[in-house]
Amino acid sequence: MSVILDATCTGKIVNTVGMPVPTAEILSEGNGPSEGVLLMQGGKQYYVTSNATDLKEVITKLNDLIPKLVTAFTSIASGMTGPTTAPPPSLATDLAALTAVNVQLTLLKSMLK
């Protein structure tokens, strides 16, 4: 018979119903505090949590970073004048590629499951 209980995990220690479950296999990194479920089947226990909030935060930070990179490179390039300091010919293509990645990340963030 399977049992599913609400559980928490902090510092790789799973707790449910106020008791630690040292034999639970953590199916995530288990480093940060999280809430999830403890699945018990036979003599085995598995702790499962959603990493969606972590992924969303990473994507948000990347979405913030990419436009700043585009702005910085554009600013640097605008100061490059003359034949010895001209921006690389691939700059416009590189900036467009960064912008495309940002668009893809924004779409991914909106579709997280």
- 61-71 tens-digit pLDDT: 999 999 999 99
Segment of 40-49, 69-78, 81-90, 103-112 carrying the highest mean pLDDT: 40-49
- Residue by residue, DSSP assigns 75-100 as HHHHT--SSSSPPPTTHHHHHHHHHH
Q: 46-58, pLDDT tens digit by residue?
A: 999 988 888 888 9
Contact of 15 with 9, CB cutoff 8 Å: yes
Q: What is the pLDDT of residue 6?
A: 96
45 to 34, 49, 68: CA distances (angstroms): 17, 13, 45
DSSP state of 24: P
Please, are residues 14 and 20 in contact by the beta-carbon 8 Å criterion? yes
Work out the percent of the chain whose per-residue pLDDT is above 90. Answer: 57
pLDDT at residue 13, as a whole number: 93
30: tokens are 């288990």
Residue 59 has pLDDT above 90, yes or no: yes
Residue whose tokens read 């559980």: 7
Question: Region 81-108: what's the mean pLDDT?
Answer: 88
What pLDDT is stored for residue 32 in this prediction? 83
